Structure 1
Amino acid sequence: MSRERKPHTPDDHTQPKGRRRRSARGRWTAAAIAVALTMATPTTPAAADQQPRQFLYVAAESEVVVIDTETDTPTAGVPVENPGSLVITPDGRHVYAAGSKGMVIAIDTATNTVTRPIPVAPAPSSMAITPDGARLYVAHNASDIVTVIDTSTNTVIAVVPVGGHPDDVAVTPDSRRVYVTNTNANSVSVIDTATSTIAATIPLGDLPKGVAITPDGHKAYVACSGSVAVIDTTTETVAATIKDAPSDNPPMVSPDGTRVYVAAWRGLLSVIETATDTVMSTIRTAVEARAMAITPDGFRLYVASWIGVTQVIDTATNQVLADIIPTGWPPRMQITPDGSRLYIGASSWPLLAAVDTKLNRLVNILNVGRVYGGMAITPAPPKVKTSVSLTASPDPVTAGTFVTLTATVTETPAPAKAAGRLSSTPTGNVTFFDYTATLGVIPLTNGTAAFSTSALTPGPHRITARYNGDDSHTASRTPPFILMITPPAPDTPPCAEPIEGEEPRPCPQKLHKRDQHPRSPHKRHQSCSASHRKPPCHHTGR
């Protein structure tokens, strides 16, 4: 049943009837949020030119609520009993909701009506859809199986036994493999999507929970109790175990695949560099982190905790920028494809917060009911992937002299010229970093940006370049590039300037062997520092 819902604004301080306030430690109620943000002004997101609208689907108490993200307005409610996990097809035509009574509900996004309820095993939990949109994989943690659904017919085509208590599901970018974490079995099951059979079972550390796969599909990162396991997807073996990255939540891979973020309940966020599989930074955050979301360009990471705060992290500097708003618990988050809006819901309040990511401020509150399940958003038109290369000239370079860093952004793979396509050259800016310090932001010219500096100190410098993307190209980043700055050569005293009334000192001469002998009758003029320009230094003689 569809129905209009009146969005709350920060000026609506009243609490819905029948709702009791929660005042447990650090927990924020809906009324408290409204009071805390009375100075906020509700705004409407600006729609990008010629971009289709995006709709947010929210698993609320007894329905899936549909929100127009252009106006922050709930437009429909699709009845689904106790909806949980939500996924959306890559073409945006269908949303799948895990129901509580052994059903997966297929929703037509054109009409926001139920296309078909699909009977599955009890307790469907985590779900993942293949990038080609052909298959939906549903984990059942009560029955230790994964159900495979053909999305073209919305029917079950296979049931795959896995390990004890399957917790999370992830699909490789090529749609060939599905990784399932088995919490009670301390393992990961790998499903071959062509045959719907187990291709490998990988033993891991204690309590593997969430799993995330890099955009190139080469690695899968699994959050275990107190560590992160790195799986080589080619060999289906554990390539590394990162002990100094405690995690209590599913990992999150940056859009460019160069970073993995894992959050621990005790207030630590570990930043893993995928090139080396080592922790490059540890960020102090609010305790009891529960959910993360990252902007499509990878520039901002949002971490929401159980204690009622959502923090904004600058991924370039790995610093906390702001505590933007009080939030409910446990939090769920979703970012729009253009990165302009962040939506935060929770089961402890009946409202959905809309945050302007540019301002890092709550701008709208929507009455959608308590959010017990997930959120999903219709995709934006696909962007062309990019890669960045980085060179330095000269390399190495002497301290105090100029070095030029040149970043070249190209499409990956290089596309054929399509009919009607105006340009295939990326535009926008490239930011150059020395470790986490920003060196400069340079606009692209014909796909290239160059930055020159003479301020680098002697020693190794870890240089990276990050392309911020544009309307049709994805953001990307270079691997670290070690630039060696050598110390300048020792100062050679110059010939002394003549002192008035005295003969000038000759330039230093190289001593021959016979002149170096202590008994040699020949004495050469000895050089002295420029600061000692006084007799006898400036006199000549034998």
Structure 2
Amino acid sequence: MRQRKRVIAIGVALVLILSGCAMETKEQARQRLSAGGDNKTGVAGAAAPQGEAGKLTAVQFYVPSEKENKLSVIDVPTGKVVGSVQLSEAPATVVFSSTMREAYAANMNSSTISFINTQTLKVEKEVPVGPMPHGIVLSPDNKTLYVAAVADQFVYLVDTKAGKEAGTIDLGAGAKTNYMALFGDKLYISDHENHKVYVVNVKTKEKVLTIETGKTPRAVKVSDDGKKLFVPTAGDGNLETYNTEDGKLLSKIPVGAGATDVVIAEDGQSGIVTSMEGNSVTFVDLAGGKPVQTIQDLPGARHIAYNRLQSKAYVTLSGSDEVAVIDTLTRQTGERIKVGTMPHGIQLKALPGIGGSC
């Protein structure tokens, strides 16, 4: 038995080496293992994927396009659009289950969440939620989808197994939810109209902290150790960093007009910030608290995602209907991939241990 396990382990290692792709990050592994390992959302012996674009092991980016009501599937190794999924009205963001067998898309104008089968590239269910769903995050156990609805004060909870709404979290009269980040039992929700970030305990569903931010906070992110909250503030053109324990401001780095989204390097020392109204991205030195380099001529630079090795960053350009590929070592833009009209969010689909360096 021991010899058989050794042979299997060597075989897996060879597959990973031949794929030319990186292993999962420490944080991704931690979240997966704390949720009980590879969960049961996938079905053993499931039917084979329908077509090349639906291969479970394919390394891809999913990009929703607001104006065409569809989702583009981009093959990472070739940089080509290899498939699409028709969605409801004005899809904004998308997330994957940890097995990558399911994806969930928020459709703003139809006020629904699309449940997508990533092997068949078909929508299997539409779940009504609150008005104008926008930011979405999925619990590590894949059971609960948290949905921010821009037009009201609630975060909506969707039971992914039952396929229906399963309650709300009330953030108070006048609150406007936008983007979210989840770390442990803390959910961070940006309020772009009231210039705040709310911190909610997902176990008690109660607000435990309100952080006053700069003008128009957008896509918030949490550091891998959970100690820092990164907040791009569009109205001020800054990247703000807060202590998650007490909500105190730690730093403020000028980036560009309409600061929108941020990715943080695994070592926590640097990051890249998109600026939608500034049509640019800015590399920042987090340790030194300063901007390093700005890349211009990126029309409507909106959302951003790293590949697994963080050697490339993919940016949706809502102004030119493209995804720009940026080499993070040379800090230069490379190819631009044509996608649907007004691309919004972007999310990497790659199984643990597969993908990202291609």
Instruction: Normalising by structure 2, report the TM-score.
Output: 0.69
In 2, Cα distance between the equivalents of 1:351 and 1:194? Answer: 34
- Match in the other structure for 1:124: 91
Query: In the alignment, is the contact (CA less than 8 A) between 1:170 and 1:212 conserved in 2?
Result: yes
Does the 8 Å CA contact 2:281/2:301 hold for their aligned counterparts? no
Amino acid paired to 1:315? L
Q: Secondary structure at the match of 2:175?
A: coil
* Residue equivalent to 1:346: 317
Distance of 1:108 and 1:324 partners within structure 2: 27
Q: 1:337 to 1:347 in 2, by over 3 A?
A: same
- Superposed counterparts of 1:306-325, under 5 Å: 306-317=277-288, 319-325=289-295
Partner in structure 2 of residue 135 of structure 1: 102
Aligned-residue offset at 1:155: 4.3
Q: Does 1:283 align with 2:253?
A: yes
The equivalent residue for 1:201 is: 168
| 8 Å Cα contact 1:189-1:201 kept in structure 2 | yes
User: Contact between 1:352 and 1:365, CA under 8 Å: does it hold in 2?
Assistant: no
The yes-or-no answer on 1:302 pairing with 2:272 is: yes
> Secondary structure at 2:17's aligned position in 1?
coil
Contact 2:112 2:129 in 1 (8 A): yes
Partner deviation per Cα, 1:333-375 (whole Å, 9 max, x = no partner): 332322223344634468876544345x32x532545884254
**Distance across 2 between alignment mates of 1:354 and 1:146:** 28
Percent identity reads 23
Instruction: Look up the match of 1:452.
Output: none
2:308 alignment partner, one of 337, 342, 351? 337
- With over 3 angstroms needed to count, the CA separation of the structure-2 counterparts of 1:312 and 1:367, relative to structure 1, is closer
* AA in 2 matched with 1:294: I
> 1-side partners of 2:169 and 2:214: how far apart?
20
Distance 2:98 2:104 in 1: 12
Equivalent residues of 2:143, 2:160 under 8 A apart:
yes
Q: CA deviation at 1:52?
A: 3.0
Corresponding residue SS for 1:250: coil
Matches of 2:245 and 2:113 in 1, distance apart? Answer: 32
Determine if contact 2:62/2:349 at 8 Å carries over to the other structure: no
Q: Distance in 2 between matches of 1:211 and 1:250?
A: 7
Q: Structure with the greater relative contact order (CA < 8 A, sep ≥ 6): 1 or 2?
A: 2
Higher Cα radius of gyration: 1
Distance 1:276 1:202, change over 3 A: same
For the pair 1:220 / 2:191, whether they are aligned, the reply is: no
Q: CA deviation at 1:103?
A: 4.7
Q: Is the counterpart of residue 254 in structure 1 residue 209 in structure 2?
A: no
Matches within 5 A, 1:112-191: 120-151=87-118, 153-191=120-158
Q: Residue in 2 aligned with 1:60?
A: none
Is there any run of 5+ residues in structure 2 with no aligned partner, and where? 1-15, 23-53
Structure 2 partner of 1:457? none
Q: Distance in 1 between matches of 2:196 and 2:229?
A: 13
Instruction: Tell me the matched-pair count.
Output: 299
Deviation at 1:274, TM superposition (A): 2.2
Q: Contact 2:285–2:292 (CA<8 Å) still a contact in 1? A: no
| Amino acid across the alignment from 1:192 | D
Structure-2 change in CA distance of 1:290 and 1:104 (3 Å): closer
Whether the 8 Å CA contact 1:160–1:196 is kept in 2: the answer is: yes
TM-score where L is the length of structure 1:
0.48
The 3 A distance-change label for structure 1 pair 114 and 172 is same
What's the offset of the Cα at 1:229?
0.7
Map 1:389-404 to 2 at 5 A. Answer: none
The answer as to whether partners of 1:291 and 1:331 remain within 8 angstroms in 2 is no
Indicate the RMSD between aligned Cα atoms, in angstroms: 3.7
- Distance in 1 between the 2:281 and 2:77 partners? 33
How far off its partner does 1:96 sit? 4.5
Contact residue 191 and residue 200 of structure 1 kept, 8 A: yes
Q: Distance in 1 between matches of 2:271 and 2:75?
A: 31
Aligned to 1:270: 240
Aligned in 2, Cα 1:153/1:338: closer, same or farther, shift over 3 Å?
Answer: closer
State the alpha-carbon separation in 1 of the partners of residues 167 and 55 from structure 2: 27
| 2-structure distance, mates of 1:313, 1:90 | 35
**Separation (CA, whole Å) in 2 of partners of 1:368 and 1:108:** 10
> How far is 1:312 from its partner?
2.3
Structure-2 separation of matches of 1:308 and 1:104: 23
Q: Where in structure 2 are the equivalents of 1:430-445 lying within 5 Å?
A: none
Q: Tell whether the 8 Å contact from 1:232 to 1:238 is kept in structure 2 after alignment.
A: yes
- Give the partner amino acid of 1:186: Q
Q: Partner amino acid for 2:179?
A: G
- Alpha-carbon deviations, 1:429-465, whole Å to 9, x = none? xxxxxxxxxxxxxxxxxxxxxxxxxxxxxxxxxxxxx
Alpha carbons of structure 1 residues 270 and 192: separation in structure 2 relative to 1, 3 Å: same
Cα distance in 1 for residues equivalent to 2:281 and 2:120: 40
Maintained 8 Å contact 2:72/2:339 = no
Q: Counterpart of 1:232?
A: 201
1 CA distance for matches of 2:257 and 2:231?
13
Amino acid at match of 1:171: L
| Distance in 2 (alpha carbons) for counterparts of 1:348 and 1:102 | 16
Letter matched to residue 166 of structure 2? A
Describe how 1:465-476 pairs up with structure 2 within 5 A.
none
C-alpha change, 1:297 and 1:173, in structure 2 (3 Å) is farther
**Structure 1 position 166, deviation (Å):** 0.8
